Structure 1
Amino acid sequence: MDHWEQIRKLIEARRADQLVKRIRTLDGAARKEVAARLPELLKALRGRFDRWDDRLVDYSVVLRVAGAGTIGGAAGVASWLYRRDFAPRWAGRDNDVDLLLDVLADRPAAWRADLANRLVLRMRAADDRGMALTLALLRETGVEPPQHDPLVAGWAALGTTLPGGPLRDDPLLDHLLPRLFEAEGVGRELQWEQEPHSGWLGALTAQAAAGRVKREALIEGCVRRFLRGGTPIDLRFFVRLHEALDPAPAEVAPHVRDYLSLLPASPGPVAELATKRLRACDGLAADDLAEAWESLLFRSERKLVRAGLSWLDRSVRRAPELAAVVATPLTRAFAADSAELQEKAVELALAHAAGMGEEGRATVREAVELLPLRLGHRVAAAFAGGTVTPAEPAFVPPPLPAAPQRAHALAPPAELSPGSEVERLPAQGDLILLLEEARSWQDYERLLADLVTLAGRDRARVAAALHPRLPHNPWGYGRQAWLHLGQWLQGAANSLARIAPIRRAWHRMMPRESLAAPHRLLLHRGAEILRAVEEDTLPPLLLATPTHSTGHVAAAELVRRMEVIEAAGAKPLAADFQQALLRLPRTPDPEATARAARLTSAAGRVLAGWTCPEVAVELEWTCGSHHGTHDWHDRDHNHDIQPVPTATFVPTGLPLVDMVLGVERRWAEAEHLAWWPSTLPSHREVAAAHLMPYVNRRFYGETRVGPEMARELARAEGPVGAAFAMVLARILGDPDMPESVDVLLETAARDELPAAEVGRHVGLLVAAGEVRVIDVTTALDAAARRGAHEHVWRIAAAALPTLLPPPGVRPRNGLAGFVTLAATTAEWCGARGEIPEVGDMAARKGTSGLLREARRLHDLLTGTGQEG
Structure 2
Amino acid sequence: MSARVVNVPPVDQWDEIRNLIERRHADRLAERVKGLDDEARREVAARLPELLKELRGRFERWDDGLVGYAAVLRVAGAAVLGGAAAVASWLYRREFAPQWAGPDNDVDLVLAVLADRPAGWRADLAERLVLRMRASDDRGMALALALLRETGVEPPPHDPLVAGWADRGPSRLGADPLLDHLLPRLFEAQGVGRVLQWERDPDAGWLGALPALADEGRVKRETLIDGCVRRFLLGGTVIDLRFFVRLHEALDPSPAETAPRARDYLSLLAASPGPVAEPAARCLRACEGLTADELAEAWEALLFRSERKLVRAGLSWLDRSVRRAPALADAAAVPLARAFTADSVELQEKAVELAVAHAAGMGEEGRAAVREAIELLPSHLGRRAVAAFGGGTVAEAEAAFVPPPLPAAPERARRVEPPIESVEELSRSMVDGARSWQSWERLLAGFVTLAGRDRAGVVAVLRPRMSEMLKHPVTSDRYRKESWDRIAEWFWGAVHALTATAPAREAWRRFMPKTTRAAPHLLLLHRAAEVLRAAEEDTLPPLLLATPTHDTGHVTAAELVRRLETVEAAGAKPLAADLQQALLRLPRTPDPEAMERAARLTSPAGRILAAWTCPEVAIELKWRCGEQGGDHDWHSRDRHHDVRLEPTATAAPTGLPLVDLVLGVPRHWDEVRHRDWWPSMLPSHREVAAAYLMPHVLRRFWDETLVGPGQARELARAEGPAGAAFAVVLARILGDPNMPGSVEVLLEVAARGELPADEIGRQAGLLVASGQVRMIDMIAALDAAARRGAYAHVWRIAATALPVLLPAPGERPRNGLAGFVTLAAVTAEWCGARGEIPEVRDMAARKGNSGLLREVRRLHDLLTGDGGGTGDGSGTGDGGGTGDGGGTGGTARTDGTVGAGQEG
Give TM-score, length-normalised by structure 1: 0.74
* Alignment match, 1:27: none
Query: Does the 8 Å CA contact 1:222/1:238 hold for their aligned counterparts?
Result: no
Indicate how the Cα distance of structure 1 residues 36 and 305 shifts in structure 2: closer, same or farther if over 3 A, else same: farther
Q: In the alignment, what sits opposite 1:403?
A: 409
1 CA distance for matches of 2:456 and 2:519?
35
Match of 1:133 in 2: 147
Specify the code of the residue in structure 2 equivalent to 1:447: L
Q: State the shift of 1:673 in Å.
A: 3.8
Map residues 448-467 of structure 1 onto 2, 5 A cutoff: 448=445, 450-451=447-448, 454-455=451-452
Alpha-carbon separation, structure 1, partners of 2:122 and 2:505: 94
- For residues 620 and 350 of structure 2, the distance between their equivalents in structure 1, rounded to whole angstroms, comes to 50
Instruction: Select which of 678, 685, 688 maps to 1:686.
Output: 688
Greater shift in the superposed pair: 668-677 or 95-104: 95-104
TM-superposed CA distance for 1:361, in Å, is 4.1
In structure 2, what is the equivalent of residue 31 of structure 1? none
1:743 paired residue number: 745
Counterpart of 2:147, as a letter, is: L
Q: CA-to-partner distance for each residue in 1:542-595, whole Å, 9 max, x for gaps? A: 444433333333333333344444445555444444443333333333333333
Taking a change above 3 Å as real, the CA distance of residues 858 and 543 of structure 1, as seen in their structure-2 partners, is: same
Inter-partner Cα distance in structure 2 for 1:49 and 1:315: 75
Alpha-carbon offset, residue 754 of structure 1: 1.8
Conserved? CA contact 1:298–1:333, under 8 Å? no
3-state SS of 1:335 partner: helix
Aligned CA distance change for structure 1 residues 113 and 853 (closer, same or farther; 3 Å): farther
- Corresponding residue of 1:141: none
- 5 Å-filtered alignment, 1:121-520, equals 129-138=143-152, 160-161=170-171, 166=172, 188=193, 193-203=199-209, 205-206=211-212, 212-213=216-217, 218-225=220-227, 228=230, 229-231=233-235, 240=246, 243-244=249-250, 252=254, 254-255=256-257, 257-258=259-260, 260-266=262-268, 284=288, 291=294, 295-296=298-299, 298-299=301-302, 300=305, 303-304=309-310, 306-307=312-313, 309-311=315-317, 313-314=319-320, 322-329=325-332, 331-336=334-339, 337-338=341-342, 340-341=346-347, 343-348=349-354, 350-351=356-357, 356=361, 360-362=362-364, 364-369=366-371, 371-373=373-375, 378=384, 381-382=387-388, 391=397, 394-410=400-416, 423=423, 437-441=434-438, 443-444=440-441, 447-448=444-445, 450-451=447-448, 454-455=451-452, 470-471=466-467, 476-478=478-480, 480=482, 483=485, 485=487, 511=513, 513-520=515-522
Structure 1: stretches of 5+ with no match in the other structure? 24-33, 72-76, 139-143
Deviations 1:816-837 (A, max 9, x none): 5544544444444444444344
Contact 1:20 1:99 in 2 (8 A): no
- 1:99 alignment counterpart: 112
After TM superposition, give the deviation of residue 631 of structure 1 in Å.
0.8
Q: Distance in 2 between matches of 1:269 and 1:520?
A: 56
Contact 2:518 2:672 in 1 (8 A): no
1:30 aligns with: none
- 1:750 offset after TM fit, Å? 1.8
Structure 2 CA distance for partners of 1:87 and 1:821, relative to 1, 3 Å: same
* C-alpha spacing 1:500/1:853, structure 2 compared with 1 (3 Å): same
- Encode CA deviations 1:572-619: one digit per residue, 9 max, x unaligned: 444444443333333333333333343444444443343333333332
Within a 5 Å distance, the mapping from 1:43-122 to structure 2 comes to 45-46=48-49, 49=52, 58=72, 61=75, 83-87=88-92, 95=108, 99=112, 103=116
With 147-156 and 551-560 compared, the bigger mean Cα shift is at 147-156
Percent of residue pairs identical? 54
Q: Identify if the C-alpha distance between structure 1 residues 205 and 656 changes in structure 2 by more than 3 Å, giving closer, same or farther.
A: closer
**CA contact 1:756–1:794 (8 Å) conserved in 2:** yes
Whole-angstrom distance in 2 between the partners of 1:812 and 1:833: 25
**Are 1:660 and 2:662 matched, yes or no?**
yes
Q: Is the contact made by 1:149 and 1:183 (CA closer than 8 Å) also made in structure 2? A: no
Partner of 1:803: 805
Matched letter for residue 444 of structure 1:
E
* Structure 1 residue matching 2:222: 3-state secondary structure: helix
Distance 2:510 2:157 in 1: 85
Determine helix, strand or coil for the equivalent of 2:727.
helix
Deviates more, 1:578-587 or 1:564-573: 564-573
CA distance in 2, matches of 1:387, 1:837: 35
Contact 1:632/1:638 (CA < 8 Å) preserved in 2?
A: no
TM-fit CA distance, 1:504: 6.5
Within 2, Cα distance between the matches of 1:565 and 1:787? 49
1:160–1:167 contact (8 Å) kept in structure 2? yes
The structural deviation recorded for 1:258 is: 1.7
Question: Which residue identity does 2:725 align to in structure 1?
Answer: A
Separation of aligned partners in 2, 1:100 and 1:446: 78
Asked if structure 2 preserves the Cα contact closer than 8 Å seen for 1:369 and 1:389, the reply is no
- 1:69-102 CA-partner distances (Å, limit 9, x unpaired): xx9xxxxx9x679754455557979545863796
Classify 1:503/1:325 alpha carbon distance in 2 versus 1 (closer, same or farther; 3 Å).
Answer: closer
Aligned residue in 2 for 1:26: none
Tell me the SS of whatever aligns to 2:647.
strand
What letter matches 1:408 in structure 2? Answer: R
Q: How does 1:715-794 map to 2 (within 5 A)?
A: 715-794=717-796
Report the residue type matching 1:438 in the other structure.
R
The count of aligned residue pairs is 802
Which residue number corresponds to residue 896 of structure 2? Answer: none
1:647 CA displacement: 3.2
2:621 is aligned, of 614, 619, 622, to 619
Where 1:558 maps in the other structure, the secondary structure is helix
| Shift, 1:659, TM fit | 3.6
Change (3 A) 1:788 1:185: closer
Distance 1:100 1:220, change over 3 A: farther
Question: In 1, are the aligned partners of 2:285 and 2:317 still within 8 Å (CA)?
Answer: yes
Q: Is the 8 A contact 1:259 1:274 kept in 2?
A: no
Distance (Å, rounded) in 2 between the aligned partners of 1:665 and 1:545: 28
Instruction: Report SS of the residue matched to 2:644.
Output: strand
Alpha carbons 2:649, 2:664 under 8 Å: kept: yes
Structure 2's unaligned 5+ residue stretches are 1-8, 21-25, 57-65, 98-102, 870-904
The 5 Å alignment of 1:537-576 reads: 539-576=541-578
Change in Cα spacing, 1:584 to 1:463, as seen in structure 2 (3 Å) is same
Q: What amino acid is aligned across from residue 217 of structure 2 in structure 1? A: V
Alpha carbons of structure 1 residues 638 and 566: separation in structure 2 relative to 1, 3 Å? same
* 1:391 aligned counterpart, secondary structure: helix
Q: Distance in 2 between matches of 1:514 and 1:191?
A: 51
Give the secondary structure class of the aligned counterpart of 1:595: helix
d(CA) in 2 for partners of 1:178, 1:537:
88
RMSD: 5.3
The separation in 2 between residues aligned to 1:145 and 1:489, in whole angstroms, is 75
Q: 1:402 to 1:451 in 2, by over 3 A?
A: same
For 1:29, the equivalent position in structure 2 comes to: none
Tell me the distance in 2 between the aligned counterparts of 1:116 and 1:535: 89
1:581 pairs with one of 568, 578, 583: 583
